[in-house]
Amino acid sequence: MTVDSSPGFAGRLTINGAELVVEAYGPEDAPAVIVHHGAPGLGSRAEPKRSFGPFADQYRVIVFDARGSGESSDDEPFTHEQWVADVDAIREYFGYEKIVMAGGSYGGFISLEYAVAHPDRVAALVLRDTAADNGHNELAVEKAKNTDRTMIPQWAIDRIGTGHFESNEQLREYWKAILPLYDHQHDPAKDAAKLAATRFHYRTHNAAFGQNMPRYDLKPQLPSITCPTLVTVGRHDWRTPVAASQVIADLIPDARLVVFEHSGHSPQLEEPELFQRTVRDFLDSAGIR
């Protein structure tokens, strides 16, 4: 199924003082799924739109560019607290008491933060290739050093997870250097397309990884999450490995962990049919229809 090119809502909303680009697909009276993209300063609504757009046959799918990313405005602060508050304001704007909160990679961090901050507003949680702390960063650096796919320059390796960028141009060169690490089956043409489609916001990226991540650790709060939770991850994910997802699944009561054997960091794109079927089965089993 393809995404309807005419969303039920598409526009710029003033959310907590920032101008956010928001799109909504699917029936207004259906259960709402708000999807948070990853990679602050690099990511955008394009990936959640592609990954969760097919769910608009049964759900109200809401995607957006977070403040400091994509086409949204660069209004600080770029903190987890602010991004969580923005999600809640979007929920309130569309008039939903409860939502399915979904997010991958850094979007998973915000999804977890949202579930901890607003447990009464989350009907279910869908996570993809994410983590509950920053303990996976050193392993990612080692994988980048030892990859046989490409020669990653040392300056780029030194900046993994640091937030030390001086310009959008430097962030672009870094993104270009590490893109070959992400997919299980490397395709240089796909990397080139991703690079060309990316809008760069280096200050957002710096705040996310230089300020937020060093103090990020939600492990003590995870047992308080009681909503149905699906944790998905690619077997070959270099950035947030299976072990990081296992920690989440172990700490959230009755969470379900699904490992995609033929994926890297993006099973929702590398194994889309299986990913969609897995999420649909989970939502059905959670009684969210």
pLDDT above 90 for 5: no
Task: Report the 10 Å Cβ neighbour count for 6.
Answer: 7
What pLDDT shows up at residue 289? Answer: 84
What is the per-residue burial (b if ≥16 Cβ within 10 Å, else e) of 268-283?
bbbbeebbbebbbebb
**Helices 106-117 and 80-94, interaxial angle, to 10°?**
70
Is residue 4 assigned to a domain? no
Q: Which residues pair with 60 in a beta bridge?
A: 32
Length reported for the chain: 289
Let me know whether 218 and 262 are in one domain: yes
Let me know whether 90 and 212 are in one domain: yes
pLDDT digits (tens, 9 = 90+) for 99-135: 999 999 999 999 999 999 999 999 999 999 999 999 9
Let me know whether 106 and 123 are in one domain: yes
What pLDDT shows up at residue 204? Answer: 98
Let me know whether 71 and 163 are in one domain: no
Using pLDDT thresholds of 50, 70 and 90, give the confidence band for residue 150. Answer: confident
The mean per-residue pLDDT over the stretch 28-37 comes to 97
Using pLDDT thresholds of 50, 70 and 90, give the confidence band for residue 7. Answer: confident
Is residue 114 assigned to a domain? yes
What pLDDT shows up at residue 1? Answer: 35
Let me know whether 132 and 254 are in one domain: yes
Distance CA 260, CA 161 (A): 24
pLDDT above 80 for 3: no
What pLDDT shows up at residue 191? Answer: 94
DSSP codes joined into one string, the chain: -PPPSS-SEEEEEEETTEEEEEEEES-TTSPEEEEE-SSTTT--THHHHHHHGGGGGTSEEEEEPPTTSTTS--PSP-SHHHHHHHHHHHHHHHT-SSEEEEEETHHHHHHHHHHHH-GGGEEEEEEES--SBSTTHHHHHHHHHH-SS----HHHHHTTTT---SSHHHHHHHHHHHGGGSSSS--HHHHHHHHHH----HHHHHIIIIIIGGG-B-GGGGGG--S-EEEEEETT-SSS-HHHHHHHHHHSTT-EEEEETT-SS-HHHHSHHHHHHHHHHHHHHTT--
**CA Rg, the chain, in Å?**
18
What pLDDT shows up at residue 103? Answer: 98
Report the mean per-residue pLDDT for the chain: 96
| Among candidate residues 176, 200, 224, the one where a domain is terminated | 200
What pLDDT shows up at residue 4? Answer: 46
Let me know whether 193 and 219 are in one domain: no
Distance CA 232, CA 245 (A): 7
Inter-residue contact 55 to 121 (CB < 8 Å): no
Q: What is the domain-level CATH number for residue 266? A: 3.40.50.1820
State which residues form the domain around 45: 9-136+208-285
pLDDT digits (tens, 9 = 90+) for 215-274: 999 999 999 999 999 999 999 999 999 999 999 999 999 999 999 999 999 999 999 999
What pLDDT shows up at residue 6? Answer: 61
Q: In Å, how far are 98, 123, 242, 274, 280 from 237, measured between CA atoms?
A: 31, 28, 7, 17, 23
What pLDDT shows up at residue 209? Answer: 97
**Helices 188-197 and 168-178, interaxial angle, to 10°?**
160
pLDDT digits (tens, 9 = 90+) for 161-203: 999 999 999 999 999 999 999 999 999 999 999 999 999 999 9
pLDDT digits (tens, 9 = 90+) for 43-66: 999 999 999 999 999 999 999 999
| Among candidate residues 200, 226, 249, the one where a domain is terminated | 200
Distance CA 160, CA 90 (A): 31
- Exposed/middle/buried for residue 287 (C-beta within 10 Å: 0-12, 13-18, 19+): exposed
pTM: 0.95
